[in-house]
């Protein structure tokens, strides 16, 4: 048998593999000698999930306790269990358990969805050859070495080396749209020795060994060889990328193929181009952790200060051991250091509520519940495909409001992946296609006799050139015809076939061949070396002598044909810069002018030319081509010389103009993003010319932009010099907007040693286009921006598997539900049906999510400062005895019940500005950039405000309810019995009451958008506190060991001065806030505040209940509930049933409407409707 062969240029990088190569025995026919040790390979399962059933609990707990607040509360809980502390362990343990449980359920549910998607892929049925027969099994059961059968239009389940196909020559055609974004048809080959094995029995008898490199991520690189044993002789054939069928690609125009699996599961090239799934964290969460550290420092300071002051106070004998609190013998003899530590920990527990543990669970709930709004938004629903937006992870909602760079794929993301022939220029005359006829410019479709009468020799020659100069393949998908019906064509214009489908090497070629077919010159197929066309009903056969393939340097392709009359002709087509300089006859200047006109319309152009050879000239051409193609040394250079010799002295025939159909409203969306201050980069695997053309047509590049190019750089020095030239040009022309075009090869050089220079050029360009990009290169570009000194927030959007690494690398990844499979959607954070939905997702949803969560975070810190600072101040009045100011029930329920709902409802429904205004004024997005609402200055304001309010609560209560001022309900002043009424629990309850009312009204002041739910939770929270306190203190509960609060609240409320104190303190706390808001709004209004006066017409808004209950097509999801509540509140007599008939739910978007259409989101609650609620 053959031995392992090491490839000099092969570098396997996967650590588990000990060798640089792998040996694959076809059909797993291992050698029978005892010395063979089989290699171990990965199974064929694809895994995009994070957890398994076994590691969910430990891994999730580890991730959750990495959060500072969770870990801190765990420590506090353990301290409370170990030492005697002023409060019960339940006060810390219960909220911690609640937070951990809610978060684990949410993350478990999201990962279950990923498992579900993986199981669909891994459980897909496949056919493999085993034990001499074709066996159906699941995709995950395929092993390396298995022979797999794939039928037409199926995707390849593993990376396969092609063994044979249903074609005699062993070739097959595939599309790799989901891998590299290219929709063109690619031809792959099998080696001659295996191509004859077209049956299962032949494949079972095949003795072959594949040796190849270990898995690597490069889609375009494969080095290997196959050794076939025939009649005892070993035949060795080389294997390259043209022999490898990649997982995720799709078989086209071929009935079936057989291939041997070489890379499976997570070792396939598609999977290696996925990044490892890392936990994405938003900028808000990072700010939260920073604020928590600051509050942790404040907590430690307060605890240390209290401990020191306690010992300073106890330096006096009378305070060290008062008569009413004698120390035990053990306490007197205990170590001073241990006692200091114990007291410090006790103070730490007493003040620990300054760190808001319920902040995390409220944020989790806000993100989880808020994410439903994206799915419910009717403006993000695509009617044609019946797809709504979906949220795969809700952890990044607010990040949608912070995006500074958008990285987008081109094919299928900006475009519809559809090409349409629009115009052409023939011999200096412009033509357009009208109803299958080619008409000169200015003429109308008034001829009933088809297009034959209009076309003369030049036009027909041009159409023949277009229909013959290509690499198009044909598939005849005919319905079953009755016996004798052998003609596959139903004649229109002399020919046509409704069942003939073209597969082209580029979408342009397909569009052009389809156009010539409609006009009357149809390419009907190639058989061996013969190409057939049907010219207005007349069949013509051309012999294909040579094909001069397209390459990026020449930017053209050619065919040399023998005509039916025996002559030899070359047809060539390519970019105008690659054809016009070599043309010597024809209407060169007119054609050049027409090409420029087509380009200004955003059309993709190709120039067509021909050359006729005499027999002597062709003999010379044939000799040169044969010598170049058989050369072993410098083959590429010799071919280039031969091509240049052949493709000259051309006769110009004309030019074509094809439209790559953009998705609806792409140009307006890109312009809106630009106005919002977001830079758009297009990263595509497509050709340079195609990418530039689409960039121009979609508005990514403007016609007035100075387009800079970094293309085909071959060395580091050359690349560095070009970058310096570009940097100089930008400085010299700083007034002009610049766009940069860079290709994959040049990008690799630029990122290797010239990152800073490259980034400097890119940041000074308004738009950047990267073409010929490998999937991992896309991710590298995103990472480069992400890790730059400014640390901008990045968003990546794409629709294919080639975009997955970019989507996973960016801060926010968005998948487009397109025609290239579901890999991008499965690995994205959000998925939308069309690119145009990105504008609303960022400008409206992103804006809302960010302002809501920014206020939520700071409000939580504020209310916890208000909560715990009086506890600290109280220690100065109780000799630092660690006496708690509040009852333990109040300590536990403050964040869970009394103050939780108003901020949660605020964080779900708040709208600073109406959605219509946010969409019509994208510049408002700039107001919240760079995490501006969570800046240190804003954080400091909320913290200082919390301390100020806490001082007012404590000292206001102390002064107003101090000596000789406590009044009973009947007006009597209590002196002798004063301690019974106004003890520490009464004082603490007064402070707590004022605090609950103030912090609840504070969030009410921050609310700009009121609905019935805001009113319900705001006034309901205050009412609930009073009702709970009356029941808690008014009844003796048998299950409570002690009841310090018995009758305290009732007695407090029976005092008129207590009510007076509550009202006065609340007014004192909130009045400065009101004055500040009024002054700033009138003297220094922000652009957001100025826009708040703008609102949508009331007729275009949904009522409050409609906003919650209307779904797509106006159907009500909770019509009975809506009807009941609306009738109870008197706002709607017809209930939610008018969701069905109201024109306000109409989602049609006419062409006459402006881009920023009327909002039909479930978030749409107009200010007028809101106030009614």
CB-side neighbour CA atoms (13 Å) of 105: 9
Looking at residue 801, what DSSP letter applies?
G
Specify whether the CB–CB gap between 251 and 174 falls below 8 A.
Answer: yes
Q: Angle 755-763/744-753 helices, nearest 10 degrees? A: 120
CA–CA separation, 931 and 913 (whole Å)? 18
Token code pair at residue 679: 């830079």
Written as one string, the DSSP assignment of 173-199 is: EEEEHHHHSEEEEEEE---HHHHT--S
Backbone angles phi, psi at 585, to 5 degrees: -145, 165
Place of tokens 């530590």: 341
Backbone angles phi, psi at 1074, to 5 degrees: -65, -45
Sequence-distant (6+) residues with CB within 8 A of 602 are 659, 693, 696, 697, 698
Of 263, 253, 269, the C-alpha closest to 148 is: 263
Phi-psi sector, 496: left (phi>0), alpha (psi -120 to 50), beta = left
Specify whether the CB–CB gap between 677 and 930 falls below 8 A.
Answer: no
Sequence-distant (6+) residues with CB within 8 A of 887 are 985, 988, 989, 1044, 1045
* Residue 409 appears among annotated catalytic residues: yes
Specify whether the CB–CB gap between 897 and 992 falls below 8 A.
Answer: no
CA–CA separation, 178 and 747 (whole Å)? 22
Burial tier of 798 (Cβ tally within 10 Å: 0-12, 13-18, 19+): buried
CA–CA separation, 1010 and 258 (whole Å)? 65
Specify whether the CB–CB gap between 950 and 862 falls below 8 A.
Answer: no
Per the document, the length of the chain is 1173
Q: Does the CA dihedral 396-399-400-406 come out positive or negative?
A: negative
SS3 content of the chain, % helix, strand, coil (to 5): 50, 20, 35
CA–CA separation, 745 and 761 (whole Å)? 17
Tell me the three-class secondary structure of 216-264, residue by residue.
CCCCCCCCEEEEEEECCEEEEEEECHHHEECCCCEEECCCEEEEEEEEC
Residue 1021's alpha-carbon distances to 34, 525, 885, in angstroms, are 79, 77, 22
Of 671, 676, 658, the C-alpha closest to 698 is: 671
Sequence-distant (6+) residues with CB within 8 A of 595 are 425, 576, 605, 607, 655
Of 714, 731, 569, the C-alpha closest to 649 is: 569
CA–CA separation, 873 and 42 (whole Å)? 64
* Of 377, 409, 660, 887, catalytic: 409
Sequence-distant (6+) residues with CB within 8 A of 968 are 974, 981, 1054, 1055
Place of tokens 């290699």: 39
User: What are the catalytic residues?
Assistant: 409
């Amino acid at each position: 048998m053959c031995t392992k062969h090491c490839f000099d240029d092969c570098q396997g990088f996967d650590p588990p593999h000990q060798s640089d190569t792998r040996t694959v025995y076809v059909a797993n026919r291992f050698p029978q000698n005892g010395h063979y040790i089989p290699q171990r390979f990965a199974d064929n399962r694809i895994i995009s999930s994070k957890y398994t059933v076994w590691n969910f609990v430990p891994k999730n707990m580890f991730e959750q306790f990495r959060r500072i607040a969770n870990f801190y509360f765990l420590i506090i809980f353990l301290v409370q269990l170990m030492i005697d502390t002023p409060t019960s362990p339940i006060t810390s343990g219960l909220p911690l358990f609640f937070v951990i449980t809610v978060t684990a359920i949410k993350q478990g549910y999201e990962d279950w969805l990923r498992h579900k998607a993986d199981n669909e892929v891994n459980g897909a049925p496949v056919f493999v050859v085993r034990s001499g027969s074709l066996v159906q099994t699941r995709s995950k059961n395929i092993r390396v070495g298995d022979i797999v059968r794939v039928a037409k239009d199926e995707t390849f389940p593993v990376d396969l080396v092609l063994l044979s196909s249903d074609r005699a020559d062993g070739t097959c055609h595939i599309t790799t749209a989901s891998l590299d974004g290219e929709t063109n048809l690619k031809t792959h080959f099998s080696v001659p020795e295996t191509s004859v094995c077209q049956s299962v029995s032949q494949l079972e008898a095949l003795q072959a060994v594949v040796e190849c490199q270990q898995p690597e991520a490069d889609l375009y690189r494969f080095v290997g060889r196959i050794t076939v044993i025939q009649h005892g002789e070993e035949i060795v054939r080389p294997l390259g990328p043209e022999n490898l069928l990649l997982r995720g690609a799709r078989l086209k125009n071929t009935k079936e193929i057989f291939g041997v699996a070489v890379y499976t599961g997570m070792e396939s090239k598609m999977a290696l181009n996925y990044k490892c799934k890392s936990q994405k964290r938003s900028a808000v969460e990072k700010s939260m952790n920073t604020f928590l550290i600051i509050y942790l420092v404040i907590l430690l300071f307060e605890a240390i200060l209290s401990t020191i002051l306690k010992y300073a106070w106890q330096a006096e004998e009378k305070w060290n051991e008062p008569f009413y609190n004698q120390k035990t013998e053990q306490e007197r003899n205990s170590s001073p250091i241990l006692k200091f530590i114990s007291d410090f920990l006790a103070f730490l527990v007493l003040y620990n509520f300054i760190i808001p543990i319920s902040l995390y669970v409220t944020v989790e709930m806000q993100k989880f519940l808020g994410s439903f709004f994206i799915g419910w938004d009717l403006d993000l629903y695509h009617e044609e495909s019946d797809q709504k937006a979906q949220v795969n992870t809700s952890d990044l909602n607010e990040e949608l409001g912070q995006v500074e760079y958008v990285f987008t794929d081109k094919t299928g993301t900006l475009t519809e992946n559809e090409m349409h022939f629009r115009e052409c220029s023939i011999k200096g005359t412009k033509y357009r296609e009208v109803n299958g006829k080619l008409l000169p410019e200015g003429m109308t479709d008034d001829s009933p006799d088809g297009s034959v009468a209009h076309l003369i020799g030049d036009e027909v020659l041009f159409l023949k050139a277009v229909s013959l100069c290509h690499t198009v393949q044909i598939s005849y998908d005919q319905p079953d015809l009755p016996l004798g019906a052998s003609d596959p064509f139903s004649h229109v214009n002399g020919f046509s076939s409704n069942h003939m489908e073209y597969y082209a090497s580029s979408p342009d070629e397909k569009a052009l061949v389809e156009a010539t077919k409609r006009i009357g010159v149809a390419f009907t197929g190639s058989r061996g070396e013969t190409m057939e066309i049907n010219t207005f009903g007349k069949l013509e056969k051309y012999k294909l002598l040579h094909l001069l393939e397209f390459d990026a340097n020449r930017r053209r392709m050619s065919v040399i044909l023998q005509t039916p009359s025996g002559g030899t002709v070359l047809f060539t087509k390519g970019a105008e810069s690659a054809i016009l300089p070599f043309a010597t006859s024809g209407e060169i200047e007119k054609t050049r002018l027409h090409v420029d006109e087509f380009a200004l319309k955003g059309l993709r152009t190709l120039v067509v030319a021909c050359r006729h050879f005499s027999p002597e000239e062709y003999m010379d051409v044939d000799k040169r081509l044969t010598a170049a193609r058989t050369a072993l040394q410098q083959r590429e250079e010799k071919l280039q010389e031969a091509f240049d010799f052949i493709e000259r002295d051309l006769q110009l025939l004309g030019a074509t103009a094809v439209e790559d159909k953009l998705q609806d409203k792409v140009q307006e969306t890109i312009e809106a993003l630009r106005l919002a201050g977001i830079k758009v980069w297009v990263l595509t695997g497509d050709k340079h010319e195609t990418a530039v053309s689409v960039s121009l047509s979609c508005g990514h590049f403007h016609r007035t932009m100075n387009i800079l190019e970094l293309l085909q750089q071959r060395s580091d020095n050359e690349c560095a010099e070009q970058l310096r030239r570009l940097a100089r040009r930008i400085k010299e022309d700083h007034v002009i907007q610049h766009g940069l075009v860079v290709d994959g090869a040049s990008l690799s050089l630029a990122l290797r040693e010239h990152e800073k220079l490259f980034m400097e050029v890119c940041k000074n360009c308004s738009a950047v286009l990267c073409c010929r990009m490998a999937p991992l290169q896309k991710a590298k570009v995103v990472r480069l921006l992400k890790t730059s000194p400014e640390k901008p927030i990045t968003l990546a959007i794409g629709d294919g598997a080639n975009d997955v690494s970019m989507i996973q690398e960016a801060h926010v990844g968005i998948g487009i539900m397109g025609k290239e499979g579901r890999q991008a959607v499965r690995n994205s954070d959000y998925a939308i049906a069309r690119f145009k939905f990105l504008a609303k997702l960022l400008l409206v949803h992103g804006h809302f999510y960010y302002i809501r969560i920014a206020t939520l975070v700071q409000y939580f810190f504020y209310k916890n400062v208000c909560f715990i600072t009086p506890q600290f101040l109280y220690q100065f009045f109780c000799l630092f005895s660690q006496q708690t100011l509040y009852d333990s029930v109040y300590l536990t329920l403050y964040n869970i019940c009394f103050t939780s709902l108003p901020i949660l409802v605020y964080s779900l429904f708040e709208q600073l500005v109406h959605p219509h205004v946010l969409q019509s004024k994208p510049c408002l997005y700039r107001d919240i950039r760079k995490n501006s609402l969570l800046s240190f200055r804003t954080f400091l304001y909320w913290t200082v405000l919390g301390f100020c309010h806490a001082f007012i609560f404590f000292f206001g209560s102390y002064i107003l309810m101090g000596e000789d001022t406590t009044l009973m309900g009947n007006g009597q002043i209590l002196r002798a019995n004063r301690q019974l009424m106004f003890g520490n629990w009464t004082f603490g309850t007064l402070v707590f009451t004022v605090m609950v009312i103030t912090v609840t009204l504070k969030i009410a002041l921050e609310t700009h958008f009121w609905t019935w739910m805001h009113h319900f939770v705001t006034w309901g929270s205050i009412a609930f506190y009073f009702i709970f306190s009356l029941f808690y203190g008014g009844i003796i509960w048998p299950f409570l060991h002690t009841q310090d609060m018995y009758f305290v609240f009732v007695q407090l409320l029976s005092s008129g001065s207590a009510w007076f104190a509550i009202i006065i303190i609340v007014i004192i706390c909130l009045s400065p806030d009101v004055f500040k808001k009024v002054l700033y709004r009138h003297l220094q209004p922000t652009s957001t505040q100025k826009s708040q006066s703008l609102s949508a017409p009331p007729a275009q808004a949904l009522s409050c209940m409609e906003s919650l209950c209307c779904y797509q097509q106006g159907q009500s999801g909770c019509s009975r509930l809506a009807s009941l509540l609306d009738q109870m509140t008197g706002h709607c007599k017809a209930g939610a049933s008018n969701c069905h008939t109201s024109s306000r739910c109409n989602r049609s978007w006419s062409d006459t409407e402006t881009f920023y259409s009327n909002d039909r989101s479930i978030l749409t609650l107009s200010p007028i409707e809101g106030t009614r609620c």
